[in-house]
Structure 1
């Protein structure tokens, strides 16, 4: 039966409206195609090239580097690997080391691993991310940078514990977590519900309980003068830059700190003075 023109037009408009409300499902993310991704909380954005320094350029953190690189390589190979907490001083290469370790592991096991960075405001969607990654035949390092739970935030630490301890929302076998934080305990230094002066030991234990869920906890500390200069020397040799230790030390004094980040900023200054791009 042929509908009248006005009814046909009405049905067409209704169908178009419903299609706008319920668009055709996306084909989804190709989790095998790229070295890194950024998770927004509900969707993933792929990264064509993972930017990371060469491992040989990361100086002053040799012990930390060995442990992290070994663990990430195990994950890429499909072996048992730990969730990692990298904690400590700012600017000492925690995030750079993770990126560099993934690049090195991908070179050793091409296509075997990808980095997935999750912003702290996207943590609520990580369970959906785990569900997607668990279906993929590839290893993933889910990276949460500069994580810290403040006083009064009880849900965040509980969710993280669930991911680490094998609860119903735990990360799948091909996924491991890598978290960086400026403090070992991750949670705030003052948790009102635990501040009982009668039991100070309990307070300390509670603050460290979450950190203890990570199989690998690696501390990073401010570098001394020799380490700071060694970091600069490594970069300067790599990029063919001339430099003077006294000038490098004056730079750190003006910055009020010595760290890998400050060293890199000085090297960038050297390159600018020399008219070079790095």
Structure 2
């Protein structure tokens, strides 16, 4: 009897060892009292929120040359945090110009007042109703953040997304907003033929159905904010700002903003083929780090 029991237990243990990798992992529940951000992950047919550790170092004052955009999104977000009506927001324009940084700076600014951030990828936006269900009724105010939301002309997913947005956003609880960034104003790439297929109705120009579908998706966002490529003057002002910030943090005192430093920053941007905030920050890190290293060399 003992031998049959031992054999059974051994086989059961072997079976459990094989099944264990197939069982869903125990997920950490997000404690929104202490977690300021989370990311939605798809796990087969289900999904879950994973807490994120976020840096609160970025300030609104660090975002230069986007005063109008910063003011409008900050006002909209403060209305939302205060429990007042606010709009879903689409931040569109050139890459590296501060779109996602602005959202993260607002989290740092307003986390103490209850603002929280949930990152959700474009391919997971069909899960919006499930995400909203998880946070509905909580005391915190949640911005669902989708970075780089755009579609190619041949993709049909944008029609599915439009349907989801209609249902999820127009009926969303008052503690949920969607902020998205994109390099396209209408989210879907446009073709020259789109401009040729308009029709005249009662003396007025009207787009065809395909064009209307593309425009309708971005219409789900009540606030549109545009971000443009940096001028050289704007770029250099951002470089100078970050050199000052990083030099102060690193204890680099002996430095001066001069013509040679400007020229070096411009060469850096030319070498990368773009002139934006991300490039300015990267150059500042390179330059300050180099000064510190050279200062340590006898």
Q: TM-score, normalised by structure 2?
A: 0.77
2:38 alignment partner, SS class: strand
Give unmatched runs, 5+ long, in structure 1.
Answer: none
- Cross-structure match for 1:268: 285
Within the alignment, does 1:252 sit opposite 2:269 as a pair? yes
Contact conserved, 2:90 with 2:224, CA < 8 A, in 1? yes
Q: CA deviation at 1:272?
A: 2.0
* More RCO (CA 8 Å, sep 6+): 1
Q: CA deviation at 1:140?
A: 0.3
Q: 1:212 aligns with which of 206, 215, 219?
A: 219
Looking at structure 1, the residues matched to 241 and 3 of structure 2 have their Cα atoms a distance apart, in angstroms, of 77
- Cross-structure match for 2:184: 183
Give a deviation string over 1:161-186, Cα, whole Å, max 9, x none: 532x3569843221100000001010
Q: CA deviation at 1:151?
A: 2.2
With 202-211 and 79-88 compared, the bigger mean Cα shift is at 202-211
Q: TM-score, normalised by structure 1?
A: 0.82
Give a deviation string over 1:46-104, Cα, whole Å, max 9, x none: 12334552211111111111111121222222222110100000110101110001111
Looking at structure 1, the residues matched to 87 and 150 of structure 2 have their Cα atoms a distance apart, in angstroms, of 20
Contact conserved, 2:152 with 2:189, CA < 8 A, in 1? yes
Looking at structure 1, the residues matched to 256 and 163 of structure 2 have their Cα atoms a distance apart, in angstroms, of 49
- Cross-structure match for 2:246: 239
Aligned residues: 268
1:115 alignment partner, SS class: strand
| 1:50 to 1:129, Cα distance in 2 relative to 1, 3 A | farther
Contact conserved, 2:159 with 2:213, CA < 8 A, in 1? no
Give a deviation string over 1:92-124, Cα, whole Å, max 9, x none: 0101110001111124x1xx1111111223223
| 1:67 to 1:13, Cα distance in 2 relative to 1, 3 A | same
Give unmatched runs, 5+ long, in structure 2.
Answer: 200-204, 248-254, 294-298
Q: 1:53 aligns with which of 41, 47, 58?
A: 58
